Structure 1
Amino acid sequence: MYFNIAINNIKKSFKDYAIYFITLTLAVCIFYNFNSMNSQTVMQDMNKIEVLVKLISYISIFISVVFGGLVIYANNALLKKRKKEFGIYTTLGMSKTKVSKILIYETFVVGMISLVTGLLLGIVLSQGISVITGKLFEFNMEEYKFIISTNAIGKTFIYFGAMFILVMIFNTVVVSKHKLIDMINASKKNEEIKTRNPIVSVIIFILSLAVLSRAYYLGWKFAPTPKNINFPLSIIWGSAGTLLFFFGLAGFILVILKKNPQIYLKRLNIFVIKQFNNKINTNFISMAIICLMLFVTIVMSSSSLSIKTKLEERLENLTPFDANIELNIRSDQQEVRDIEKALKTVDFQLRESYKYAVLDVYGTDIKVSNLLNEYANKDLKARLKNYVGNLKTIGISQYNEMKKLKGESTIELKANEALLLTRDNDEKQAINNLIKDKNGIDINGKKYTLINGKKYTLKTDIDLKEIEYNLIAIVPDYAVENMTKYYSTMYMKNIDEMAKEDLEEQVKELKQKFSNLDYDYDKILNKYGFILRAETRTQVYNETKNAIGTNLYIGIYLGFVFLIASAAVLAIQQLTEASDSVNRYKTLKKIGASDHMINKTIFTQILIHFMAPLMLALVHSIVALVIIGRLSKYAGLLAIFKLGPTIFITGIVVIVIYGSYLYAAYTGYKNIVKSS
């Protein structure tokens, strides 16, 4: 009997359960998709997939907590709307234990339907995600298969099953605490309208703008030095400013609009403004939290897409070399200081089909900071404060051999000339200023005239993780004869197309001999007397794809979760308000307001309620992405953000999901008012 009552309740209250059901279904779908990624065929092509899977597993624990809180919040809103119904059950002689039993059945049925629907949707979408992933990252699609991940299904059932058990316990506790008189009269109680002194609200709103400006300023100014206490303080200032913004927003809008009677007194605008003023005064904390969640969504999604775009550009301009091998020279006592001799020692064969060039890099006693600081702009000076490296040099002959191997034209230097090269634009500007001022540099006691060099990056793109400064001096060969060699790099090409895999295999074997550097560095050094590091073009390509996949999946995963949670909370708040405000709309109807006018006021207030946190989140996000781009530049990272395309793509996703919840909230709100 109680089960039948629960089923009938679900059928009757389907509109009330709609957003609850949609949110649960989407949550299950997203949870399954990202936890089934290791089973998707194309993902097997990603090296170190287990690292990404482990990260997703850890993040899923946090995500389950977020969804758990969302489920309890939505469930609590439903309980508040149904207090009178529960009161009638109790009046008819049903005990609170039996009422709780009905709720348990309802939660179980809705949960199972959501789980099954979400899993079916997730299984279908996961196949599409596999195809999209394969196309995006150029994975092998020949072995594509339709796969269902039993592991992800089991994990989804465990996590969401635990959530629903908590909800059942929560429902039982809530029902047991309600008094009969409160349940019966629940529909007669209107939410208390909270108002604040308008002047105080205006002052707080203006203060919030000042606090947010301070946060933006600190983030921008101290991006070059993120370890400075002021940089993390900018986050605290931003969070406080967001809270103050929503605390004073309603009163500020009220004061501004009251000064414009043409807007304030037009149609039902007074009612809309009062409704918004009431809700934001009541929910300013939740509005601030939603704004920050939307901010995290936009930043994470945009930054992950930015990293993807930038790294794909790096792949397009991948090093022209098939491999590079580097010999580190740890001290003057190191016996093997020649890279070709080192390779012979470890039985690496330089075959006839291998064309190569060797670059020996030497050190000087010139501090880069001392050399450029006088001619640097403000940004570069801030970076040079934390840099203690010395200028490195390369002989002109080796440099030209490497240029020939790349298929580029060589350069010429006179006996007393030197060329300074860097990949950094600020350093290039400082070098030009140095040339204009002194046009010379003293290297190890000898004066060299500086010549203007064309735009060129000495370091190949094969080392995407390098963050060290890249200022290098190209000098005549005789100049390096008495200098200390720091390291030696061999750049290689295999000109035999039929034997391309030979070099890959040899480098792989070489890497294996030095594979435990992080754990047995001294042991390996004692064994060979030197350390070799090697990479191939294919390896870098795969590592870059891994970096793209990891950043993109985690960013999108968290972004989707926070976006759905934010939109769902806003929608549930509006539907709860609809139940509380029914009598107000009845009054509007009695004084002659048409259905069209009432529907328009409903849409307007929901639109304002949804857009207020989103617009501030957009402002936060644009500023944050600019700051992150500045931070990445000063850190020497290669993933500089491109705001235009990434925010556009993120914006489309936000509009679709956020807009869907907005429309669902409007439809539900309108139906509640209409049915009353």
Structure 2
Amino acid sequence: MTFLQFALNNVKRNARSYTAYLLSSSFSVMIFFSFAMFIFHPDIKEGYIVQTAQSGMLVAEYIIFFFSFFFIFYSISTFLKMRNKEFGILMIHGMSKRQLNGLIFTENVLIGLFSIMIGMGVGLIFGKLFFMLSGYVMGIPSLSMYLPWKAMILTILAFMIMFVIVSFTTVFFVKTSEVIGLLKGNQKPKPEPKSSLPLSLLATVLIGAGYYISSIATMRTVAIFMIPVAILVIAGTFFLFSQLSVYVLKMLKKNTALYYKRTNMITLSALVYRMKDNARMFFGVTIVTTVAFCAVGTVVSFTGTKKSEVTNSFPFAFQLTEYNAKGQSVEFEKDLAKEKVSYKKVETHTKLLPITGTSKKQGGFIKESAYNKAARALGYDTIDVNSGEAVWIKSSYEAAMNIQTPKSISTTKGQTFVMSTAVDKSVYSHNISVSYSNYVIPDSDFARLTTDHIAYITGYLVSDWEQTTSLNEEKFREKGKVELISRAEVFHMVKQMYSIMLFIGLFIGVVFYLSSVSFLYFRLFSDIEGDRKFYDAISKIGLTDQEIKKISSFQIGLLFFVPFIAAAIHTAVAYTALQEFFETSILGPSLLVIGCFFAVHTLYFLIIRSRYMSQLRGLSPFPK
């Protein structure tokens, strides 16, 4: 038998442990390869939406690659700890340290090759389906299948370099200086888990502080608070599992009424050790699962509220703005008639003047009667303005950024208006880059304003506006002279953008989630030999099969659902800060995302629990 054959046989013999790791790695390779196939596709044409999709997939490539590196690094180090006894036996039979390191390196590279081949193979098989889905999401014709040699080279090089680096690094995790330590494996006597009250309290303080800052975040501050909150919550989560959980369990053990009830003595005593041993794993799974929840939940929330957001930002189905001259509205209405589009129009005009007292150098002034006419047509509240006062009509961007209302504004011709109030809902659409803000003033004050710059605005109300995308005519868009804003066109573009975000975010979220549940799988089956001895011992002191099954199920459930619940709470708090970006509630989409993950997680738990109990029964002689 050659050294390579020996390494290959070792991989086969450890197939049970490697299965979840191999599948998770293969899935990461498949997603990376599929995105690469899209990025390098020869039929990709120029276009804002397609270029955005390519950029999004490129960012996803980086995220998947770097996360896969840490996932593989953790997984391999876990496997090596499981095989300490095996390595000790090999060294007793004459294997040198160099040969052992070579064996570990070869095995890991073989697993990497299998993952790459499986991932790319599945990616090629389902490549056409991926192109159909991506084309449907972006509203472009389905891309044809091709030989993706550039994507193949990129995937092979990226993941082979990753596996080689990780394989070379992880050989140092095996301490071969003491063979007796390797032979004992993971069955060394464990000291009584210790916990610190100050560190336990610190966990509560850190998480509480992170939650509080999230709750007071606004759209202007959320970007500033994001990193500090993440640091606080991550640090607090680490101490939550490594200190606070152990401290609480040890306090429960002191409650004799609870501790001596039925099998609680065994359950609580085992939980103290299990929580301490799995603290880092719980911490890692919680953080990874939180990222998965937030990635999917964010894009689902944006997608679910896109129509209401567009409707609020663009109150009219069409808005035609003519600068300094009228006439184009008649031509546009002829086109509406040709398409048999029924409409109701609202006309007004805005006087543009240079102003001071605000960050904008120019202001658009609308008379009160014209504004109220448009407001009544849209179902908005009307306003009442006194002489010498003005009402600031905030754009959706200005309202979202919570820009402070100025006390007064003045025109360059000496006319001053005291700002009475501000209205968050504008009756007209305004681009973020527009150089002026709008103000409503009394009709008498409006008549006294003199300027050569006038914007004539015609708003069109259309009931079935989503079907009017064919009227997005470029002839009504001439910079500085005429501007046409179509709500249907904007909505179609926004829908495409959010669909791309959902498409990419969903895959990233799934990669993160599969990795997190793989961590749980690794940990559960790495402890199966110790669990077998534990259940053998307690079965001899009289515990029934049903009691052992109950204890085992509770501990497995704890392993699966404690990180999930912690991640769900972290995500719920993150959604409170995310709500600042929306005018409508995102509670529904948020609950949908967490509920779907919970259903999948429960199903996975039942499958793994059944498999674990089956293998435990096969290994252990306790009553069946």
TM-score (norm 2): 0.76
Match of 2:473 among 489, 497, 504: 504
Q: Which residue does 1:293 correspond to in 2? A: 288
CA contact (8 A) 1:21 1:110 kept: yes
Q: Which residue does 2:366 correspond to in 1? A: 394
CA contact (8 A) 1:578 1:673 kept: no
Q: Which residue does 1:353 correspond to in 2? A: 334
> Partner amino acid for 1:625?
Y
Q: Which residue does 1:178 correspond to in 2? A: 176
The question of 1:154 aligning with 2:153 is answered yes
CA contact (8 A) 1:301 1:650 kept: no
The question of 1:264 aligning with 2:259 is answered yes
Q: Which residue does 2:593 correspond to in 1? A: 649
Residue 459 of structure 1 aligns to a residue whose secondary structure is: coil
Match of 2:455 among 464, 474, 488: 488
Residue 350 of structure 2 aligns to a residue whose secondary structure is: strand
Match of 1:619 among 569, 583, 594: 569
CA distance in 2, matches of 1:107, 1:446: 74
CA distance in 1, matches of 2:166, 2:425: 62
CA contact (8 A) 1:28 1:114 kept: yes
Q: Deviations over 1:573-602 (max 9, x none)?
A: 333333455543332233234454434323
Superposed displacement of residue 620, structure 1 = 2.0
CA contact (8 A) 1:218 1:231 kept: no
CA contact (8 A) 1:575 1:665 kept: no
Worse overlay, 475-484 or 287-296: 475-484
CA contact (8 A) 2:353 2:453 kept: yes
Residue 592 of structure 1 aligns to a residue whose secondary structure is: coil
Worse overlay, 62-71 or 144-153: 144-153
Superposed displacement of residue 663, structure 1 = 4.2
Q: Which residue does 2:298 correspond to in 1? A: 303
Q: Which residue does 1:476 correspond to in 2? A: 443
Worse overlay, 483-492 or 213-222: 483-492
Q: Deviations over 1:484-524 (max 9, x none)?
A: 687736447799x9x9968623256x4xxx6xxxxxxxxxx
The question of 1:459 aligning with 2:428 is answered yes
CA distance in 2, matches of 1:62, 1:445: 54
CA contact (8 A) 2:27 2:119 kept: yes
CA contact (8 A) 1:41 1:145 kept: no
Alignment CA distance shift 1:89-1:220 (3 Å):
closer
Superposed displacement of residue 26, structure 1 = 2.3
CA distance in 2, matches of 1:648, 1:164: 37
Worse overlay, 270-279 or 470-479: 470-479
> Partner amino acid for 2:566?
L
Residue 157 of structure 1 aligns to a residue whose secondary structure is: helix
CA distance in 1, matches of 2:42, 2:461: 32
5+ residue gaps, structure 2: 337-344, 400-413
Residue 359 of structure 1 aligns to a residue whose secondary structure is: strand
Q: Percent identity?
A: 18
Q: Deviations over 1:621-672 (max 9, x none)?
A: 2122112213x3xxxxx56551223331343135425752784377358636
Residue 349 of structure 2 aligns to a residue whose secondary structure is: strand
The residue correspondences of 1:263-282 to structure 2 (distance < 5 A) are 263-282=258-277
Residue 549 of structure 1 aligns to a residue whose secondary structure is: helix
CA contact (8 A) 1:459 1:470 kept: no
> Partner amino acid for 2:176?
H
Q: Which residue does 2:185 correspond to in 1? A: 187
CA distance in 2, matches of 1:246, 1:208: 9
CA distance in 2, matches of 1:111, 1:424: 53
Superposed displacement of residue 96, structure 1 = 4.3
Alignment CA distance shift 1:58-1:349 (3 Å):
same
Match of 1:609 among 553, 559, 574: 559
CA contact (8 A) 1:20 1:74 kept: yes
Residue 353 of structure 1 aligns to a residue whose secondary structure is: helix
The residue correspondences of 1:60-71 to structure 2 (distance < 5 A) are 60-71=61-72
Alignment CA distance shift 1:540-1:151 (3 Å):
farther
> Partner amino acid for 2:52?
V
The question of 1:561 aligning with 2:542 is answered no
CA contact (8 A) 2:390 2:417 kept: no
Alignment CA distance shift 1:362-1:206 (3 Å):
same
Q: Which residue does 1:49 correspond to in 2? A: 50
> Partner amino acid for 1:287?
F
Superposed displacement of residue 612, structure 1 = 1.9
TM-score (norm 1): 0.71
Q: Which residue does 1:667 correspond to in 2? A: 611
CA distance in 1, matches of 2:530, 2:319: 69
CA distance in 1, matches of 2:75, 2:84: 15
Q: Which residue does 2:403 correspond to in 1? A: none
Q: Which residue does 1:584 correspond to in 2? A: 534
> Partner amino acid for 2:591?
I
The question of 1:543 aligning with 2:493 is answered yes
Q: Which residue does 1:165 correspond to in 2? A: 164
CA contact (8 A) 1:364 1:390 kept: yes
CA contact (8 A) 1:417 1:476 kept: no
Q: Which residue does 1:243 correspond to in 2? A: 238
> Partner amino acid for 1:298?
F
Alignment CA distance shift 1:390-1:647 (3 Å):
farther
CA contact (8 A) 1:602 1:670 kept: no
CA distance in 1, matches of 2:385, 2:553: 76
Residue 488 of structure 1 aligns to a residue whose secondary structure is: strand
Kindly report the root-mean-square deviation, in angstroms, between the aligned alpha carbons of the 2 structures: 5.0
CA distance in 1, matches of 2:428, 2:120: 48
Q: Deviations over 1:206-252 (max 9, x none)?
A: 55334433332233234365189777544443333323322333334
CA contact (8 A) 1:68 1:163 kept: yes
Q: Which residue does 1:521 correspond to in 2? A: none
CA distance in 2, matches of 1:211, 1:500: 51
Alignment CA distance shift 1:472-1:134 (3 Å):
farther
CA distance in 1, matches of 2:186, 2:569: 41
CA distance in 1, matches of 2:231, 2:590: 26
Alignment CA distance shift 1:183-1:6 (3 Å):
farther
Superposed displacement of residue 474, structure 1 = 5.9
Residue 620 of structure 1 aligns to a residue whose secondary structure is: helix
Residue 185 of structure 1 aligns to a residue whose secondary structure is: helix
CA distance in 2, matches of 1:547, 1:10: 44
The residue correspondences of 1:20-419 to structure 2 (distance < 5 A) are 20-38=21-39, 47-123=48-124, 127-128=128-129, 131=132, 139=139, 143=142, 145=144, 149-170=148-169, 172-174=171-173, 177-179=175-177, 181-182=179-180, 185-187=183-185, 189-190=187-188, 192-196=190-194, 200-201=196-197, 204-223=199-218, 226=221, 233-255=228-250, 257-258=252-253, 261=256, 263-314=258-309, 320-322=316-318, 324-325=320-321, 338-340=324-326, 353=334, 357=347, 359-362=349-352, 393-395=365-367
> Partner amino acid for 1:70?
F
CA contact (8 A) 1:32 1:122 kept: yes
CA distance in 2, matches of 1:85, 1:414: 85
CA distance in 2, matches of 1:479, 1:303: 45
